[in-house]
Amino acid sequence: MQKQARDGSPNTEARKPLYRILYVQVLIGLMLGVLTGHLWPEFGAALKPFGDGFIKLVKMMIAPIVFCTVVSGINSISDSREVGRTLAKSMALFYLLTVLALLVGLVAVSLIQPGVGMHVSVSTLDPSVAAKFTKQAGATGFADFVLHIIPHSFFGAFAEGEVLPVLLISILIAFGLSRAGDNGIVVTKAVASFSHVLFVSFGFIMKLAPLGAFGAMAFTVGRYGIRSIGSLGLLILTFYIACSVFVVVVLGTLARLNGFSLWKTIRYFKEELLIVLGTSSSEPALPGALHKLQQLGCRKGVSGLVLPMGYSFNLDGSAIYLTLASIFIAQACDIHLSWGQIAAMLGLMLLTSKGAAGVTGSGFVALVATLSVMPDLPVTGVALLVGIDRFMSEARALTSMISNCVASITISLWEDACDREVLARELGQSGTPNVPAGSKIGGAAQQDKSWISTTQSAA
């Protein structure tokens, strides 16, 4: 007998053979990548173009998808003050989560002490490793960061593919359309139609996700090898423990306080998280996560703002990495830091962690940017980490991705912009989540599911 979803519609995923389900295909690609890289390292390292090509295809679509989502979403908000309120609440939540992430990393490295006993001499470290990333780190001043958000030209934002400049243009155009009268209606309809075309097209790209995950994982294992973990295995273990504690304790508490399940949320975004795991980048998951947030009942105007912002302002995995890696370098080089120095370092990291984009290696670049202006720690210390950074980038990207999805749902609930009944049904919970006294149920309608069915039909 054919299984049905909770809303009574046929469960198409249940009717499919396992090998035709996208997340199963990605899992198979990951396992084959690990085996290929381990058994044939040179061949595995040569498969890097498969992963890079998939990421480039996805990045090609991110800017127009964010633009269309934000423009059509803001136009659906009748009260323009809601946009400012959403941005303010998002930034407040992002900074709170970043502070907690920094503290979790600090506590983990202080308790486990993975660098103690290494007794590394600073004079023996290779300075060329840090020099290679110093230019990428760029300026760390607040003014430089704000100016970087403003693109050189309208189309330059789309050409560069960075999320924040596109988000800025999207907000400006959306407010312009809302005040353009009849002239704006035509453009608004065109943007909505183009958005649908983009998501359908992105569904075709997602059919290549298993190949991209296979190539990226084969390269990682083939190039660096599992044996490269070596004596730094305790540092990697410490980092994974810190990320797990942050997700379970901090994000789990945030989800529980707002009446939804963290574990069912993670399960709901399993395809996106597996792609992040395979590619070590959170960017390929952005379009799919945007659409799934609407499937959960989150209003496009709110979730379409919060999630892209989170990709630059809520990189909690990178925040954990910054404190953990910095204190590890101090421990390994026998450098004692006072609590005042640690506090100053945490304040600096609140800024440098926001400048990292959701791409592979961004956490390492942010670390170089932090140490470059920290007189107490040698920037050459990053040479200790360069060989294992790839094994840590997966946890950075996964932690940040989960945090941004939870934050987007949370802000939508705070803004009464999420239909709690749809949220409960989609997450597979029994009944409606706990609703605090006096709160309203958002009127977000369930969105068209054609994109989801397109991606799930990958063969």
- DSSP sequence for 303-320: HHHHHHHHHHH--HHHHH
pLDDT in tens, 74-104: 776 666 677 788 888 998 999 999 999 999 9
Q: What is the distance between the alpha carbons of residues 137 and 435, in angstroms, rounded to a whole number?
A: 44
**Contact status, residue 65 vs residue 202, Cβ threshold 8 Å:** yes
Structure tokens at 280: 């070590």
**What pLDDT score does 413 carry?**
94
DSSP type of residue 78: S
Q: What's this model's pTM, rounded to 2 decimal places?
A: 0.78
**What pLDDT score does 226 carry?**
66
Phi (first) and psi of residue 386, to 5 degrees: -60, -30
**What pLDDT score does 446 carry?**
40
Q: Where are the domains of the chain?
A: 18-433
Q: What is the mean pLDDT of each run of 10 residues along the chain (459 residues)?
A: 45 63 83 88 89 85 84 72 84 93 94 85 68 54 68 81 81 82 80 86 86 86 68 85 96 95 93 86 85 90 86 87 91 87 85 57 73 79 77 87 95 91 81 41 40 42
**Contact status, residue 216 vs residue 33, Cβ threshold 8 Å:** yes
Amino acid letter, 449: K
Using alpha carbons, list the distances in angstroms from residue 205 to 54, 81, 194, 209, 269: 8, 37, 17, 7, 18
C-alpha closest to that of 311 among 276, 370, 243, 359 = 359
Return the CATH number of the domain spanning residue range 18-433: 1.10.3860.10
DSSP type of residue 40: S
**What pLDDT score does 314 carry?**
86
